[in-house]
Structure 1
């Protein structure tokens, strides 16, 4: 009876995953090439708006190993004013920032006890400062573009070109850039994070562009200030540990949808340690759970379409779905292992071999499919290729990387149930040049 119950649970989770993955693949393979110009920054405007002013916020807390290189990259874009907010760092982050001498670099500092209250508070703090600048300098709010870049990030060389192409149209409001990991991989875990962001999440974002459900990432988001202030307010970011998706929900509830940039991207540092990886993902899962507070408003909303609601529901249900699916796999595997003799002893050797081969092939199928798309993406964008050994191991890693995320899900539910909402900081090492 127990096996039947957990098989049913696993079947439902598998069906939802397969349906979502298949639709994402179809949009990526068929719709996107045909509608390339619909995506943010791919348009060719009649004239670039020379009055656009860009303010890029960089939150900083103990980022001495990476912050200087990140700010140097941003200052290479001559239209950017960079607002870096040090959130009471205990290392020499401020000393690293102070080595850069540029009138376009603004250092803001928060001090304990007002610091360490979450990324949303840091971003709102910076936005207050930006509003003061544009009022003092009499800059038009509808010409002011605000971006958010992580302290370990770097924008692709064509980023400003694509941003100008997008925001030169006065009808555009918000865009999210594609995300990629730095290509100097030290281990397979970093490669798996790259394929997750650069190809798998990319497919999902393409589908969401058609359904108007694109989600913001914490890195590489840009928006026009005027509609945000008018519809959300002076402090748009909230206190959820997944501040980016919380802001996405707020925007959608006020008829502001996010566009997606496919052909420029923001690099960020992939984690090398499974322990840090689990901690980071537990924060993301818990942030997803924090966003459940918006569920009543989403259900009652007359503004959101059915498709948009389904997209949000799918995102919010993922932690629960993943938890049940992983639990079902653990239980069914345990039952199969403890009852191996009674289940398989009477099968002919050839039949048993076929069954095992079928199970292995099924488990690796999506790893092979996503691996092919990832290989194509690296080739198309002239990114460094993988070695033959890495390519051979790729399907296995893709298919089973989410096994270790079961621990992050447990950690997230535990903290969420105990109302522990403190920020779990992801530590960054020094970037390779």
Structure 2
């Protein structure tokens, strides 16, 4: 009995020692990795993706888009690549893409688009073929684990037999790891990414368990299946309750009744600290999903305005990765304090111009540019009255209030102080019926 007690005591001491001296994860972190439900950097800082998708595979000459995407406030870009279904993106091209991401201080999510809709689209590649593409690029990907996430295959299973997704995804992850990849892996849901049959929702643990490095994040694509706030919230709640890492790897916007509820996606992502990547910068066959017109960053579409400048959009929420210094994106204006002394005498006034930048059935987007007069100003207030029953529903870069048809917009903390002739801009979404005429504007400065 004494010997058994001694053995038991020794075992308990050994177990206690193991608990005391075990201070890290089972596997050493290499670059971006998963900690609980979060993506974290090598130094342990949480990184929340805020970015857009860029269709590089079809527009490989649009390399200036990387700088434009950064200037729009993004901290991440998801880059479309092809291993043969379209023109193959070679090792040299992928090397250049990674260099452009790093040059522009963007985390680079590389995705293989060849797998889109497998089982339903006869042209689609398997996830196994996608894994082979990455293996062929291993020499240019190794060593980039701090900067690159590998999204094994875009929307890898269509709506035909979506249940095959689980085994195919497990095998692809294991193939990547057996070939020595240490990167954070991202895996898309079936059903063209939207998981409406809940295969990923119900089998996510099998996917996470298949990764010997415990370094996989699940990705949901949200389009018309997620057209109501309740559908979005319920889906995200399930993943939160299970403690699974998740990003919203693609989503569109509510350009018509029954389309995706982008406002809820953005607000819920911000509330839950989830990453999101909007689709897409430009070049879609369906131009309603373009954020810019013909890749021109100076021509943001309605969708572009919503994700770049809107509430919970890129400029409001994106934080640069600490590997690049961790500063706010340069396009996000820092808060400024009013000057301690009054501005010099002169025309302490301002003017305002109103422009409708996008319009659809029952809704519109408008931008207002405020310009200081010949002297600096500390703050501004813009007023106007609608003649046709329009209403403002949400705004950004200004505090907007309404009383009947009368609307008042006041500067926020960071854009009230303007030098002589300097400008500030704010925008908003509104509703209209019948007609949507441009109102006369009045601007008062302090």
TM-score band by shorter chain is under 0.3
Q: Max radius of gyration: which structure?
A: 2
Q: Which has the higher contact order (CA 8 A, sep 6+)?
A: 1
TM-score, scaled to structure 1: 0.25
Which one has the bigger helix percentage?
A: 1
Normalising to structure 2: TM-score of the pair? 0.25
